[in-house]
Amino acid sequence: MKELERTKRISISAVLFLLVILIGFLTFERPKHVFKKNTASTLEKIIKKDYIISISDLDTLDPSQYAIIDIRSNYEYAKGHMENAVNITRHDIFNDNSIKFLNNLKANDQAIILYGEDPDNANTGWMLLYQLGYDNAKILCIETDYVDKTFQIKNAPLEKPNVNFAQVMAASKSDKSENIKKPKPKKKVITAPKKKKRVPEGGC
């Protein structure tokens, strides 16, 4: 009888244990957004740099093969934007509508072309999309500006030094050293007034 009670207790505790695990499974909340690419594969892609396109590259593409996404703020977008561009800020990427739109583009094998104030800005959006698994994302290498009430874009130089740093440093040293060279002051010639020969004072 005692043994029977013991086995009963074991069964009850095992069932309770199972219940706890079951509740854990049911209440487990799966994260909505997960990085699908790890940093090693992202790094490989970054080194290739094949995801950066210029305006001339864009002109060669068929408009049905891509969608342009403006990642600037809604306010900037309202002032002016590229033709047919859709505004999805970096925070809005996680919206259900945006995810649906991006998934659609991926399913249709269309490229996602991002642009922002500068390529740097677009790059943060690209990094996010690529790591989320949107490997059809690209960066449009442009700078945008709003001048004289018109939206303007121009090709942006990427990591291009404005000057040759080594040369500028060398020049700044030599230029200054030449300026510093002061003309040698002429030796002052002080001519001592000739002493007049004293007339020997008269003696007696």
Partner 1 sequence: MSKRYKSKKFLVKTRYIILATILFLLALGLVLLPKYQKNEGINPELFVINAVSTERYISTDLLADRIINQDPTLLLIDTRPEKEFNEFSLPNAVNIQLKDFFNEELNSYLDQDVYDVILFSNDNFYANEVWMLGNRLGYKNLFVLKGGLNEWFSTIINPKYPDETMPREAFELYDFRKAAGMYFGVGVTKTKSEEKPKSKKKVITAPKKKKRVPEGGC
Tell me which residues touch partner 1 (CB under 8 A): 11, 14-15, 17-18, 21, 25, 28, 30-31, 33-35, 38-40, 42-43, 46-47, 90-91, 93-94, 119-120, 123-124, 127-128, 131-132, 158-163, 165-166, 168-169, 172-174, 176-177, 180, 197-198, 200-204
Closest to partner 1 by CB, 113 or 141: 141
Q: What is the 3-state secondary structure (H, E, C) of the chain?
A: CHHHHHHHHHHHHHHHHHHHHHHHHHHCCCCCCCCCCCHHHHHHHHHHCCCEECHHHHHHCCHHHEEEEECCCHHHHHHCCCCCCEECCCHHHHCHHHHHHHHHHHHCCCEEEEECCCHHHHHHHHHHHHHCCCCCEEEECEEEEEECCEEEEEECCCCCCCCCHHHHHHHHHHHHHHHHCCCCCCCCCCCCCCCCCCCCCCCC
Closest to partner 1 by CB, 25 or 75: 25
| Shortest spacing between CB 147 and partner 1, in angstroms | 21
In what order do the strands lie in the sheet containing 111-115?
52-53, 137-140, 111-115, 66-70, 86-87
Closest to partner 1 by CB, 40 or 60: 40
Closest to partner 1 by CB, 131 or 136: 131
| Shortest spacing between CB 4 and partner 1, in angstroms | 10
- In angstroms, the Cα distances linking 115 to 73, 81, 134, 190 are 12, 10, 16, 76
Closest to partner 1 by CB, 61 or 171: 171
| Shortest spacing between CB 201 and partner 1, in angstroms | 6
| Shortest spacing between CB 16 and partner 1, in angstroms | 12
| Shortest spacing between CB 63 and partner 1, in angstroms | 28
Closest to partner 1 by CB, 2 or 198: 198
| Shortest spacing between CB 93 and partner 1, in angstroms | 7
